Amino acid sequence: MNDESSGERPDDSAERILFEIRNQVAWITIDSPDRGNALTPAMRDRLGSLMRGLNGRFEARAAVITATGDRHFCTGADLGSPPQPAPRPEGAPQPAVGEVRRMMLDGQLTLMPSVLDCEVPVIAAVNGTAAGIGAHLALCCDLVVMADHARFIEVFARRGLVPDGLGAWILPRLVGLQKAKELVFLAEDVPAEEAQRLGLCNRVVPGADLRDAATEWAERLASGPTRSFMLSKWLLNRSLDVDRRTLEDNEAWAVELISGTEDAAEGVASFLERRDPSWRGF
């Protein structure tokens, strides 16, 4: 245990994940520039908890994930802050078989789904280098805006590792299987302009304009038909994983659900009345 009796200080790094809501946009900022905005286990868990906390709420109708500074978005896991092992009997190996698997399932493989499954649109505002799980954190967002000096790096092969944090799932869906293998095997830097050409990001802007560009899109989404976005995201994220018949069922249910919302009624009424719609988010 991390307490005074063990001589270890509690991990307070979760405080380096900043959170605020402005104009119905949740801003989540990784604030650890002195460590490349790398994620400790506590920071990772805090970030995932904040993402899950946006579901079923009305205060925020869009979210932005970004970081402090102009050098690093997130350079991956903070290797200087390993998770604390579970108590074990004398003579037990460290790690025991199954412990690394459990660490993954409870760690990165909890964080990335919290972004993919978030019920509001999520924008990554990539202010600098995004490497390893930092790259995958950005790529799991719905929209990606990059500063022109930013870059992605599939860094794992440089360390003799395999891609984690759902990298092997998200990359082929964005760039195709052959290109994904190239990015993973060669582990070369992907500058912002190249990332946009490959489909890894939606927009590249000068670094000084990144926050304004992310704000523009986020506030536009936050003032839009929130349940329409939620169900559209649900359909699109599942479209490559199901057969046509299953997607037909998913689509039919999505139309059933959206037809009962006030925003759907407003959309039809505003069209018939030839006026701009006023979306309420439900």
pLDDT digits (tens, 9 = 90+) for 99-112: 777 777 787 889 99
Residues 196 and 267 in one domain: no
Confidence tier at 81 by pLDDT (50, 70, 90): low
Residues 230 and 217 in one domain: no
The tally of domains found in the chain comes to 2
Question: Do 206 and 164 share a structural domain?
Answer: yes
pLDDT of residue 183: 98
Contact 180, 171 (CB under 8 A): yes
pLDDT of 207 > 80? The answer is: yes
181 and 115 share a domain? yes
Same structural domain, 166 and 211:
yes
Predicted pLDDT at 9: 47
Domain-embedded: residue 43: yes
Q: Examine the domain organization and report whether 45 and 64 are in the same domain.
A: yes
If asked whether residues 261 and 185 sit together in one domain, one would say no
Report the percent of the chain where pLDDT is more than 70: 95
Q: Let me know if residue 233 belongs to a domain.
A: yes
Q: Are residues 155 and 260 in the same domain?
A: no
Q: What's residue 61's pLDDT?
A: 98
CATH number for 172:
3.90.226.10
278 part of a folded domain? no
Bond from prior residue into 206 cis (ω within 30 degrees of 0): no
**Is 28 part of any domain?**
yes
Whose tokens are 């990144």? That residue is 210
pLDDT tens string 21-77: 999 999 999 999 999 999 999 999 999 999 999 999 999 999 999 999 999 999 999
Residues β-bridged to residue 146: 126, 204
Q: Which domain holds residue 94?
A: 4-222
pLDDT reported for residue 12:
81
Distance CA 123, CA 114 (A): 13
Is there a single domain that holds both residue 122 and residue 55?
yes
Counting residues of the chain whose pLDDT is more than 90, the rounded percentage is 83
Average pLDDT, integer, range 3-12? 48
CB 54 within 8 A of CB 60: yes
**Are the C-beta atoms of 218 and 123 separated by less than 8 Å?**
yes
114 shares its domain with 165:
yes
Confirm whether 277 is domain-assigned.
no
The verdict on residue 53 lying in a domain is yes
Mean pLDDT of all residues belonging to the chain: 92
Q: Does one domain contain both 201 and 217?
A: yes
Q: Tell me how far apart the alpha carbons of residues 258 and 68 are, in angstroms, rounded to a whole number.
A: 38
Q: Is residue 22 part of a domain?
A: yes
Average pLDDT over residues 254-271: 96
pLDDT number for residue 261: 96
Is residue 130 domain-shared with residue 260, that is, in the same domain? no
Of the given ranges (103-117, 148-162, 186-200), which has the lowest mean pLDDT? 103-117
Please check whether residue 279 lies inside any domain of the structure. no
Q: What is the pLDDT of residues 238-262, one digit of tens each?
A: 999 999 999 999 999 999 999 999 9
